[in-house]
Amino acid sequence: MAENNDLAARAQAEISAMAREGMDHPSTKPVLIGAGVGAVAGALLPFVSLPLGLAVGAGYAFWQRIKK
């Protein structure tokens, strides 16, 4: 349970830092690239919508940044 709290705290801190620093934060660009890749996949795949692909791509890239 403490590990889940730590993950939630890291996610909250990372999101706050990304919002505060914008494009200067090291996680912003990978998350935006992940969102772009997901959006393209959503546009190309018939069973996935563009917004869903964007959200999943951004979420996956964000997860890769905080899962340490």
How many Å apart are CA 39 and CA 28, to the nearest integer? 16
Residues 6+ apart with CB under 8 A from 59: 34
CA 27 to chain centre: 9
| Section 57-68 average pLDDT | 92
Residue 47 pLDDT: 86
Residue 67 pLDDT: 85
Residue 54 pLDDT: 95
pLDDT > 70? residue 16: yes
Q: pLDDT tens digits for 18-51?
A: 999 999 999 999 999 999 999 999 999 888 899 9
Supply the range of the domain harboring residue 47. Answer: 2-66
Q: For the whole model, what pTM was predicted?
A: 0.83
Domain count, the chain: 1
Smallest CA-to-CA distance from 40 within 30, 48, 50, 32 is with 50
